[in-house]
């Protein structure tokens, strides 16, 4: 008999994972609690429900998200192929008729001879066989309790607290200074954006005037952990709260004045290459346009390029860098795997990508092959490397962005690339890296290499609008 894999959750990740396994001859038992029970964000009963926007964001492969679309298409993604079938006009975005899309996914999965659908909520992890948990950001309570018991309560989070991340090139180095508080670490680990009293007061006023995104009903009873409060919530607790909190200037000598500034915004390197920096303690529920405007008041960040915006959401996710192996199995219980948003990726496409990877790597393992991770120069690889290796002190989920990629090697004699050329160079490097990786995969499970025929694939002819996840 063919091996059996239990996949829990028929959302984006679970549907993709089940499909990849089934297509490679693996028997899949796919559990979905709908229609008996829905998460608070769901309103429909079909699989792969898009709970908010009906868009998979930009389809332009010069954006990281469009590049990830391209890679998923090339690797035979069920979700991307079905999205294409139900596409609706949306400029350069890939948007779908959500009902036809979800119904289409469900019909394909139910019709697959290797997939058995079980319409029940899983309360406990099946005791035998390989398991993939793909139950998403709103994993049902009983299962979350069970997972916390297996991973350790402190390794499963229920809210994210994401600070904005900006591109290194866009920081005005004439206005910021490198220093660690009290000279700790190597002495210059942080970039510091100093403010005088007038600047600080104007900044706090702007923060308080900005309109936060409304809380979802199921987020209304949120009690933020100390240290995870949105920056605007801290600001609202008193005019000096930020100055005694994340904007504390103590121990930070500004070399231009020899003194501590009135207040400071600290930037911490997001990766070892220092191509991206996060605003320490600036998790926020401000709308993206307000983030760009208000945070642009910070000295040195007037022209900041946001690689990702900040957010605070109800979100169930694991401390993956400390828990998971490259096949997304638990280090302490290798038969128990995770896919999708629960691993710390964020967004429809990223969750799909995570599901595709787990499907491929498990199918390979069941046939006795070890599948190497895609290289971090690909969008898929960059995302998986973040999940497994993020160096942040407290792991936070991420959508895909260029700050997750290794920097481009400078070409001898070529001047520093502009933003649009950089994006194009990243895409070209990713394209050939994916080809090399795919060709090295064991033949029996090798993903198809679908020709890329979407109009955006002519990388040199495309302008590059910013890649961003919708406000949610
Ligand atoms: C309110 C909200 C708005 C969002 N808006 C956007 C957006 O606009 N754009 C975007 O890209 N991303 C958005 N996201 C993120 C998005 O939901 C996820 O990225 C994506 O759906 C995650 O895919 P997933 O497969 O990991 O989980 P899901 O798609 O959530 O799928 C998980 C599935 O598991 C099932 N399930 C849960 N527990 C059990 C159980 N115990 N037993 C059996 N089945 C179970 C659920 O019913 C669900 O079908 C939003 C998330 C939320 C909560």
DSSP state of 376: T
Report the nearest atom of ligand 1 relative to the CA of 14: 25
Does residue 466 belong to any structural domain of this protein? no
- Ramachandran quadrant class, 457 (left: phi over 0; alpha: psi -120 to 50; beta: rest): alpha
List ligand 1's pocket residues with C-beta within 6 A: 8-14, 31-34, 39, 41, 51-53, 121-122, 134-140, 143, 216, 340-342, 346-348, 351, 469-470, 472
Pocket test for ligand 1, best of 102, 136, 470 (most atoms within 8 A of CB): 136
Tokens representing residue 426 in the block: 């990243």
What DSSP assignment string belongs to 21-51?
A: HHHTT-EEEEE--TTT---TT----SSS---
Instruction: Please name the residue whose Cα sits nearest to atom 11 of ligand 1.
Output: 347
Q: Are strands 4-8 and 27-31 parallel, antiparallel or unpaired?
A: parallel
Mean pLDDT of the 173-195 span = 92
Question: Among the atoms of ligand 1, which is closest to the Cα of residue 56?
Answer: 11
How many helical (H) and strand (E) elements, i.e. helices and strands, does the chain have?
12, 17
- The pLDDT value given to residue 36: 94
Residues 58 and 89 in one domain: yes
For residues 459 and 279, which has the higher predicted lDDT (pLDDT)? Answer: 279
Q: Are residues 365 and 440 in the same domain?
A: yes
Instruction: Give the number of the atom of ligand 1 that is nearest the alpha carbon of residue 47.
Output: 49
Task: Decide if 102 is inside a domain.
Answer: yes
Give the pLDDT mean for 329-348. 97
Query: Is residue 210 located within the same domain as residue 154?
Result: no
Query: 98-111 vs 12-23: helix axis angle to the nearest 10?
Result: 30
* Number of domains, the chain: 2
The domain spanning residue 331 has which CATH number? 3.50.50.60
4-8: strand order across its sheet: 115-118, 27-31, 4-8, 130-133, 333-338, 329-330
Which atom of ligand 1 is closest in space to residue 120's alpha carbon?
A: 43
Whichever domain contains 234, its CATH number is 2.40.30
What average pLDDT does range 439-464 have in this prediction?
A: 61
- Which of 260, 290, 308 terminates a domain? The answer is 308
Both 40 and 66 in a single domain?
A: yes
Residues 218 and 304 in one domain: yes
Residue whose CA lies nearest to ligand 1 atom number 3: 52
Counting from 1 in the atom list of ligand 1, the atom nearest the Cα of 342 is 26
Residue closest by Cα to atom 31 of ligand 1: 11
Q: Which one is predicted more confidently, 218 or 174? A: 174
pLDDT range class, residue 467, cuts 50, 70, 90: very low
Q: Are 456 and 327 within one domain?
A: yes
Clarify whether residues 284 and 318 are in a common domain: no
Residue 470, domain member (yes or no): no
* Beta strands at 165-167 and 276-279: parallel, antiparallel or unpaired: antiparallel
Residue span of the structural domain in which 182 resides: 165-308
**Atom 1, ligand 1: which residue's CA is nearest?**
41
Q: Is the pLDDT of residue 3 over 90?
A: no
Do 146 and 207 lie in a common domain? no
Q: How far is the CA of 231 from the centre of ligand 1 (A)?
A: 26
Q: What is the pLDDT of residue 161?
A: 87
Same structural domain for residues 373 and 234?
A: no
Q: What mean pLDDT value characterizes the chain?
A: 90
Q: Is the pLDDT of residue 228 over 90?
A: no
Would you say residue 467 lies in a domain? no
Mutate to test the pocket of ligand 1, among 94, 348, 358, 398 (most ligand atoms within 8 A of CB): 348
Residue nearest to atom 29 of ligand 1 (CA): 11
Please tell me whether residues 188 and 291 are part of one structural domain. yes
Give phi and psi for 180, each to the nearest 5: -100, 150
- From 243, 274, 308, the end of a domain falls on 308
What's the pTM? 0.88
Residue located nearest, by CA, to atom 14 of ligand 1: 347
Question: Residue 167: what are its φ and ψ, rounded to 5°?
Answer: -75, 140
Tell how far the Cα of 13 is from the centroid of ligand 1, in angstroms.
Answer: 9
Compute, in angstroms, the gap from residue 139 CA to the centroid of ligand 1. 8
Which atom of ligand 1 lies closest to the CA of 355? 25
Q: What is the pLDDT of residue 454?
A: 47
Which range is least confidently modeled, 251-255, 284-288, 325-329, 446-450? Answer: 446-450
Q: Which atom of ligand 1 is nearest to the CA of 142?
A: 41
Residue 243 lies in a domain: yes
Between residues 217 and 316, the one the model is more confident about:
316
What's the rounded Cα separation, in Å, for the pair 294 and 164? 12
pLDDT given at position 184: 84
Q: Does 35 sit behind a cis peptide bond, omega within 30 degrees of 0 on the bond before it?
A: yes
Whole-angstrom distance, CA of residue 169 vs CA of residue 275: 8
Q: Taking 60 as the threshold, does the pLDDT of residue 9 lie above it? A: yes
Kindly state whether residue 472 falls inside one of the protein's structural domains: no
Q: Which of 248, 280, 308 finishes a domain?
A: 308
pLDDT at 273 over 70: yes
14 CA from centroid of ligand 1 (Å): 10
More confident residue, 220 or 359: 359
The average pLDDT across 112-139 equals 96
DSSP letters spanning 331-343: TTEEEEEE-GGGG
Three-class DSSP category at 345: strand
Query: What is the rounded distance in angstroms from the CA atom of residue 391 to the CA atom of residue 155?
Result: 16
Sign of CA dihedral 277, 319, 290, 254: negative
Reported as a single tens digit per residue, the pLDDT across 55-113 is: 999 999 999 999 999 999 999 999 999 999 999 999 899 999 999 999 999 999 999 99
Predicted confidence (pLDDT) per residue in 13-26, tens digit? 999 999 999 999 99
Residue 403 in any domain: the answer is yes
Q: Distance from the CA of 218 to the center of ligand 1, in angstroms?
A: 14
| Ligand 1 closest atom vs CA 349 | 11
- Within-domain flag for 55: yes
Specify whether 52 is located in the same domain as 115.
yes
> Do 270 and 171 fall within a single domain?
yes
């Amino acid at each position: 008999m063919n091996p059996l894999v239990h996949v829990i959750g028929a959302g984006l990740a679970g549907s993709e994972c089940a499909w990849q396994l089934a297509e490679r001859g693996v028997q899949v038992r796919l559990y979905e609690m709908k229609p008996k029970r829905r998460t608070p964000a769901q309103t429909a009963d079909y699989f792969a429900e898009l709970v908010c926007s009906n868009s998979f964001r930009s389809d332009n492969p010069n954006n990281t998200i469009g590049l990830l679309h391209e890679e998923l298409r090339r690797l035979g993604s069920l979700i991307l192929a079905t999205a294409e079938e139900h596409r609706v006009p949306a400029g350069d975005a890939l948007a779908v008729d959500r009902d036809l899309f979800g119904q289409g996914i469900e019909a394909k999965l139910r019709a697959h001879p290797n997939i058995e659908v079980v319409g029940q909520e899983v309360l406990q992890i099946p005791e035998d066989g390989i398991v993939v948990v793909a139950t998403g950001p709103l994993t049902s309570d009983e299962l979350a309790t069970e997972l916390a018991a297996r991973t350790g309560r402190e390794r499963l989070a229920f809210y994210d607290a994401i600070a904005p991340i900006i591109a290194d090139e866009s920081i005005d180095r004439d206005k910021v200074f490198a220093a660690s508080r009290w000279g700790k670490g190597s002495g210059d680990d942080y970039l510091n954006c100093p403010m005088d009293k007038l600047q600080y007061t104007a900044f706090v006023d702007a923060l308080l005037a900005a309109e936060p995104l409304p809380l979802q009903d199921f987020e209304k009873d949120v009690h933020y952990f100390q240290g995870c409060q949105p920056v605007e919530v801290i600001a609202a607790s008193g005019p000096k709260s930020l100055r005694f909190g994340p904007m504390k200037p103590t121990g930070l000598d500004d070399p231009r004045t020899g003194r501590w500034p009135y207040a400071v915004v600290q930037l911490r390197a997001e990766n070892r290459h220092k191509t991206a920096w996060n605003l320490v303690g600036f998790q926020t529920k401000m709308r993206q346009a307000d983030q760009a405007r208000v945070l642009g008041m910070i000295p040195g960040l007037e022209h900041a390029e946001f690689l990702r915006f900040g957010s605070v959401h109800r979100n169930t996710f694991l401390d993956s860098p400390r828990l998971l192996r490259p096949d997304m199995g638990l280090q302490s219980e290798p038969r128990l795997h995770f896919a999708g948003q629960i691993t710390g990726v964020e967004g429809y496409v990223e969750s799909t990508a995570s599901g595709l990877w787990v499907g491929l790597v498990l199918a390979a393992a069941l046939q006795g092959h070890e599948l190497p991770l895609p290289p971090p120069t690909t969008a898929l690889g960059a995302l998986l490397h973040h999940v497994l290796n993020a160096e942040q002190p407290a792991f936070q989920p991420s959508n895909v962005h260029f700050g997750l990629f290794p920097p481009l090697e400078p070409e001898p004699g070529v001047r520093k690339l502009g933003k649009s050329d950089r994006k194009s160079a990243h895409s070209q490097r990713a394209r050939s890296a994916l080809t090399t990786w795919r060709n090295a995969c064991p033949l029996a499970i090798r993903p198809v290499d679908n020709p890329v025929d979407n109009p955006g694939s002519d990388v040199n002819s495309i302008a590059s609008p910013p890649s961003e996840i919708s406000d949610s």
